[in-house]
């Protein structure tokens, strides 16, 4: 095999990512008659979605019939501190129930209510029990169901066309390193270039559409709940192809990651522990969250432990426990307690369900948390409290897309799932990702199929020069005889981002991070790896560095620019939320080799959606000027009423 030999495949739609969003997109594209490839860095069925625990948020109203899309929409906007793209939040709230029900028709087995419907659980920021779940392994159920749906489609194709892979094929353990564009005329997507991990051989997928469904960026940070796959590949591929990223300053630090032993630091402890009755305590035994309810949420949260405890059984007449505030609030509060010297022995705080629920209920509702703690930390969560602290979990920022079609500004390029931006504003509510994957995965598959149908004339073709450049770029770390170890560069980058652009940010530190990133870029350009191309993780890390550095640069630049605190962006030097800044989206793009930052107005909320909120609440977020432009809230508009119950 010559070192630059390239295997070629031709498809209508190439989906990069086999998590919830990628699989849902591929299923949709295939359903619309498009020949579809699914590409994934790991084995089929192992994508990050498999790790999701708590559930998928959808206003089905199975447990509390008062729930509907309007309530879900309101919760989502509040959680995101009104920085969400309102159209995305609207589509998400309206379509999530249908997307969840569809999974059931494909074989998913959710936990049930007494009357045989899908059971729904409480979660932070959701007014009603809303998360469809299977114990605490909902992501596994979701990915397996979608995986088995892909298999079912392949079986149908096998029967009809004689080849299971005639219309939809999975390329597992295959990494895309570049998107390629048309050499002539308007720059359209022409395909994707990458390598097979097992052999190291290069591959070019020729296709007029690419759907990015690559997930997040957590591997850029030291303490994270994310796996090696989360090196921000899709974010970087989009930038390199000329698309924009928005909201990159907003990184979610989940309040409850494991803190001990050191080797498991960062691994997630699901929010369901709190949804099911668990409470947070400091070293003095106090439920400190009562001291941290911010003004904007004061009306919705309990003021006493008694009221909070009554809420679990009588939610209609009591307010929610403050442990269930949105994640950014809880993470910051935990951080403050630890800083004030009231932390647990290993630098976290206590999460206690043992004293609050009977052992058998804990075992039934939280089996994998029980398993995780007993096996990894020697802690029996039915008897002892857990020690937890914030961990980098999710990126709200991502590729800017059209809400209805998931299209980016680059013709032929689409994005869905965690890699896309806008839906969650400055902070994502728990459970809103799994539903996001389904809603916008489907829309991306639809958007890509429609784009393929709209094409006339010859298909875009990858320019030879861009393919040659991709080959050279991929081979570089192997060809350098001497250079630094890529694992070392990665480890230090993670530490830097954790220390300087983490949960709490300061101007001086973020500036320092930007200086450090410059040095990391120089080091990354000089790394060298031993061994050959066949399944060589050292080589893989070396190639991922480019992506992590681009993403880190976007996060740091945007974090420096935004002089306020909101959701997943907390500036110690600008602790307040600013109504002026709410109107602004920060946009990252690539000019030559450098990341540039521009401001863009946040898309406005339609009047009928604004009417879902009381003026008093909007006042907490919006400028006088904006409020003056809004008619006094009247009854929900005809549109909103007629769509109720969809």
Catalytic residues: 254, 274
Rounded Cα–Cα distance for residues 447 and 25 (Å): 9
Question: Which one, 227 or 333, has the nearer CB to another protein?
Answer: 227
Q: Identify the residue among 22, 86, 125, 389 touching ligand FAD (CB under 6 A).
A: 22
Rounded Cα–Cα distance for residues 276 and 279 (Å): 9
> Shortest approach of another protein to residue 535 CB, angstroms?
4
Query: Exposure pattern of 384-411 as b/e (b: 16+ CB <10 Å)?
Result: bbbbbbbbbbbbbbbbbbbbebbbbebb
> Shortest approach of ligand FAD to residue 231 CB, angstroms?
7
Question: Which one, 266 or 411, has the nearer CB to another protein?
Answer: 266
- Binding of residue 21 to ligand FAD (CB under 6 A): yes
- Binding of residue 229 to ligand FAD (CB under 6 A): yes
Contact 275, 232 (CB under 8 A): no
Query: Within positions 540 to 599, which residues make up the interface with ligand FAD, using CB under 6 A?
Result: none
106 binds, among another protein, ligand FAD, none (CB under 5 to 8 A by kind): another protein
What residues contact residue 180 under an 8 Å CB cut-off, 6+ apart?
A: 189, 190, 191, 192, 193, 204, 462, 463, 466, 467, 470
**413-415 and 209-212 strand pairing:** parallel
- Binding of residue 372 to ligand FAD (CB under 6 A): no
> Shortest approach of ligand FAD to residue 580 CB, angstroms?
30
Neighbours of 251 (CB within 10 A): 29
**CA atoms in the 13 A half-sphere facing the CB of 141:** 21
Contact 59, 68 (CB under 8 A): yes
> Shortest approach of ligand FAD to residue 370 CB, angstroms?
16
> For residues 597, 601, 602 and 605, what is the CA-based torsion angle, rounded to 10 degrees?
-170
285 binds, among another protein, ligand FAD, none (CB under 5 to 8 A by kind): none
Strand order of the sheet with strand 120-121? Answer: 56-57, 131-132, 120-121
User: Which H or E run contains 256?
Assistant: strand 251-258
CA-nearest of 18, 13, 9, 16 to 33 is: 13
Cis peptide before 261 (omega within 30 of 0): yes
Which parts of this chain interact with another protein (CB under 8 A)?
A: 42-46, 48, 50-51, 97-98, 101-102, 104-107, 109, 111-112, 115-117, 134-135, 137, 140-141, 144, 148, 151-152, 154-155, 158-159, 164, 198, 227-229, 260-264, 267-268, 368, 371-372, 375-377, 485-488, 491, 529-532, 534-539
- Binding of residue 366 to ligand FAD (CB under 6 A): no
Question: Which one, 333 or 528, has the nearer CB to another protein?
Answer: 528
102 binds, among another protein, ligand FAD, none (CB under 5 to 8 A by kind): another protein
| DSSP label of 319 | P
What residues contact residue 53 under an 8 Å CB cut-off, 6+ apart?
A: 136, 137, 138, 139, 268, 270, 272, 368, 369
Q: Identify the residue among 13, 19, 88, 502 touching ligand FAD (CB under 6 A).
A: 19
- Binding of residue 394 to ligand FAD (CB under 6 A): yes
Rounded Cα–Cα distance for residues 194 and 205 (Å): 8
Q: Identify the residue among 36, 42, 282, 585 touching ligand FAD (CB under 6 A).
A: 42
Question: Which one, 43 or 472, has the nearer CB to ligand FAD?
Answer: 43
* Beta bridge pairs of residue 175: 195
Residue nearest to ligand FAD (CB): 19
Rounded Cα–Cα distance for residues 15 and 461 (Å): 18
Residues 429-448 vs ligand FAD: string with x where CB under 6 A? -xxxxx--x-----------
| DSSP label of 118 | B
What residues contact residue 559 under an 8 Å CB cut-off, 6+ apart?
A: 249, 501, 505, 510, 569, 571
Question: How many amino acids of this chain bind ligand FAD (CB under 6 A)?
Answer: 44
Q: Identify the residue among 14, 47, 330, 559 touching ligand FAD (CB under 6 A).
A: 47
* Beta bridge pairs of residue 193: 178, 204
Question: Which one, 526 or 599, has the nearer CB to another protein?
Answer: 526
> Shortest approach of ligand FAD to residue 643 CB, angstroms?
24
- Binding of residue 80 to ligand FAD (CB under 6 A): no
> Shortest approach of another protein to residue 98 CB, angstroms?
7
Contact 27, 146 (CB under 8 A): yes
Q: Identify the residue among 31, 51, 264, 630 touching ligand FAD (CB under 6 A).
A: 51
Contact 581, 563 (CB under 8 A): yes
> Shortest approach of another protein to residue 115 CB, angstroms?
7
- Binding of residue 276 to ligand FAD (CB under 6 A): no
CA-nearest of 592, 567, 99, 181 to 408 is: 181
User: Which H or E run contains 176?
Assistant: strand 174-181
> Shortest approach of ligand FAD to residue 268 CB, angstroms?
4
Contact 62, 119 (CB under 8 A): yes
| 167's tokens | 């219309």
> Shortest approach of ligand FAD to residue 166 CB, angstroms?
22
Q: Identify the residue among 16, 349, 439, 527 touching ligand FAD (CB under 6 A).
A: 16
Dihedral-angle region of residue 415 (phi above 0 means left; psi in -120 to 50 means alpha; beta otherwise): beta
535 binds, among another protein, ligand FAD, none (CB under 5 to 8 A by kind): another protein
Q: Identify the residue among 203, 204, 268, 590 touching ligand FAD (CB under 6 A).
A: 268
Q: Identify the residue among 75, 141, 233, 244 touching ligand FAD (CB under 6 A).
A: 233
Of 52-60, 91-99, 109-117, 450-458, which part binds ligand FAD (CB under 6 A)? Answer: 52-60
> Shortest approach of another protein to residue 258 CB, angstroms?
9
Contact 384, 354 (CB under 8 A): yes
Query: Within positions 86 to 145, which residues make up the interface with ligand FAD, using CB under 6 A?
Result: 138-139
- Binding of residue 204 to ligand FAD (CB under 6 A): no
Question: Which one, 39 or 241, has the nearer CB to ligand FAD?
Answer: 39
175 binds, among another protein, ligand FAD, none (CB under 5 to 8 A by kind): ligand FAD
Rounded Cα–Cα distance for residues 48 and 136 (Å): 15
Contact 39, 176 (CB under 8 A): yes
> Shortest approach of another protein to residue 491 CB, angstroms?
7
**Footprint of ligand FAD (CB under 6 A):** 16-22, 39-42, 47-49, 51-56, 138-139, 175-176, 194, 213-215, 225-226, 229, 233-234, 268, 394, 417-419, 430-434, 437
């Amino acid at each position: 095999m010559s070192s630059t030999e390239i295997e070629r495949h031709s498809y209508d739609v190439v989906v990069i990512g086999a998590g919830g969003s990628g699989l849902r997109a591929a299923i949709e594209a295939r359903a619309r008659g498009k020949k579809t490839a699914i590409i994934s860095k790991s084995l089929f069925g192992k994508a990050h979605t498999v790790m999701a625990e708590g559930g998928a948020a959808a206003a089905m109203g199975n447990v509390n019939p008062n729930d509907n899309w309007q309530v879900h929409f309101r919760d989502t906007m509040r959680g995101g501190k009104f920085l969400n793209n309102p159209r995305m939040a609207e589509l998400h709230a309206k379509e999530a129930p249908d997307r969840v029900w569809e999974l059931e028709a494909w074989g998913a087995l959710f936990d049930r209510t007494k009357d045989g419907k899908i059971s729904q659980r409480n979660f932070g920021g959701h007014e009603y029990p809303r998360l469809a779940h299977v114990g605490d392994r909902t992501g596994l159920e979701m990915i397996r169901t979608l995986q088995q749906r892909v298999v079912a489609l392949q079986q149908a194709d096998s029967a009809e066309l004689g080849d299971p892979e005639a219309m939809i094929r999975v390329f597992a353990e295959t990494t895309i390193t570049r998107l390629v564009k048309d050499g002539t005329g308007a720059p359209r997507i022409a395909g994707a270039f990458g390598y097979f991990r097992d052999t190291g051989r290069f591959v070019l997928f020729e296709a007029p559409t690419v759907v990015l469904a690559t997930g997040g960026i957590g591997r850029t940070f030291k303490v994270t709940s994310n796996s090696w796959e989360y090196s921000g590949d899709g974010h970087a591929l989009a930038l390199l192809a000329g698309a924009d990223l928005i909201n990159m300053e907003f990184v979610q630090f989940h309040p409850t990651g494991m803190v001990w032993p050191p080797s498991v630091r960062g691994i997630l402890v699901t929010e369901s522990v709190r949804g099911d009755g668990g409470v947070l305590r400091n070293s003095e035994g106090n439920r400190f969250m009562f001291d941290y309810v911010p003004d904007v949420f004061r009306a919705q949260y309990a003021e006493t432990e008694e009221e909070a405890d009554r809420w679990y059984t009588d939610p209609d007449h009591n307010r929610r426990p403050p442990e269930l505030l949105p994640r950014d609030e809880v993470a910051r509060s935990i951080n403050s307690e630890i800083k004030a010297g009231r932390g647990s022995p290993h630098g976290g705080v206590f999460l206690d369900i043992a004293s609050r629920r009977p052992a058998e209920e804990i075992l039934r509702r939280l089996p994998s948390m029980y398993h995780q703690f007993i096996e990894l930390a020697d802690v029996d969560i039915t008897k002892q409290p857990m020690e937890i602290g914030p961990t980098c979990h999710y990126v709200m920022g991502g590729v800017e897309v059209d809400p209805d079609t998931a299209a980016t500004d680059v013709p032929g390029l689409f994005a869905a799932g965690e890699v896309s931006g806008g839906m969650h504003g400055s902070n994502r509510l728990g459970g809103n990702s799994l539903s996001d994957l389904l809603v916008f995965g489907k829309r991306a598959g639809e958007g890509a199929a429609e784009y393929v149908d709209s094409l006339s004339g010859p298909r875009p073709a990858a320019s030879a020069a861009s393919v040659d450049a991709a080959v050279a770029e991929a081979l570089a770390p192997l060809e350098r005889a001497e250079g630094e170890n890529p694992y070392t560069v990665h480890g230090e980058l993670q530490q830097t981002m954790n220390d300087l652009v983490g949960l709490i940010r300061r101007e001086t530190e973020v500036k320092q991070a930007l200086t450090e990133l410059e040095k990391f870029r120089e080091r990354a350009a000089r790394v060298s790896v031993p061994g050959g191309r066949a399944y060589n993780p050292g080589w893989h890390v070396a190639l991922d560095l480019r992506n992590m550095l681009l993403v880190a640069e976007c996060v740091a630049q945007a974090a420096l620019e935004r002089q306020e605190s909101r959701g997943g962006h907390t500036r110690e030097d600008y602790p307040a939320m600013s109504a002026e800044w709410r109107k602004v989206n920060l946009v990252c793009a690539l000019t030559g080799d450098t990341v540039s930052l521009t401001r863009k107005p946040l898309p406005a909320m339609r009047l009928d959606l604004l009417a879902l909120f009381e003026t008093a609440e909007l006042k907490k977020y919006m400028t006088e000027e904006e409020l003056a432009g809004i008619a006094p809230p009247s009854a929900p508009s005809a549109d909103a009423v007629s769509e109720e119950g969809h």
